[in-house]
Structure 1
């Protein structure tokens, strides 16, 4: 049992604890119900709930969510277009996001899937100074997919 000012009141029956809480016009709250014996505290429950919500909000503010940004290319991409896509990927990686690079195949391009894998390999090699490969290039339906994340 813990008093309203944080002092230890010792082990007592639940009736006595409830009586003390009523006298102080506060609530009896189980802080650690799984402990042997359970730990209870005399506090204002509304204030306690408010403090817990505030702590949760603070914890959520400090969390950083990582997004997965996608860069789409086709197998007949030109060098300048490739450089533009690489610059975009660099920006995403510098912000701490992961990058999903997809190489989309249409129609007759599907016959040359294996020859086009070098495009993703070159892409990964050119951004290797700030990125590492999370998942190597893999065929998923009509696309080749490569995942990159920022170096730590």
Structure 2
């Protein structure tokens, strides 16, 4: 990811700039040389904050401190992002009642953690001729989880397996 470059001091190419002081006070439009002299007198940098404006807006500030604050903002934004994973649970058409409830408990835990869950039902041999058993099992899973989850993808066949994806309900 390319970082946007900020022009500072001698790298600024405009002839005239609108200068903003360190305390956000407007110092007005002046030539680049005057602005650089003003920044140097305060022992700070002249940083171009809005190069597309006419004339470009430059702020007198400590560039090192500015870079540090920008990196902290970026870190904070990354920290607040949530990563949703898709967890998978596999079933068979002839999965017994207790085993099915155990698998549903696993899916419930995944959903409560904020992840999505893919419930896959694998058919073996001649089981593929009885798709209704598979769809019945997936409907049962959906019914058991309807209080905390919503079916994102309805049951769908893919090769010798049928799957659906459930996601957490959005909180209001």
TM-score by length of 1: 0.90
Aligned residue for 1:40, secondary structure, equals strand
Aligned to 1:69: 87
Aligned to 1:36: 54
Q: Which runs of 5+ in 2 are unaligned?
A: 1-18
Does 2:152 match 1:134? yes
The answer as to whether partners of 2:92 and 2:134 remain within 8 angstroms in 1 is no
Judge which range, 79-88 or 62-71, deviates more.
62-71
Q: Which runs of 5+ in 1 are unaligned?
A: none
Matches within 5 A, 1:3-152: 3-151=21-169, 152=171
> What CA deviation, in whole Å up to 9, does each residue of 1:94-142 have, x standing for no partner?
1221111111223333333354211111110111121111110111222
TM-score by length of 2: 0.80
The number of equivalent residue pairs is 152
CA RMSD of aligned residues (A): 1.6
Cα separation, 1, equivalents of 2:31 and 2:116: 56
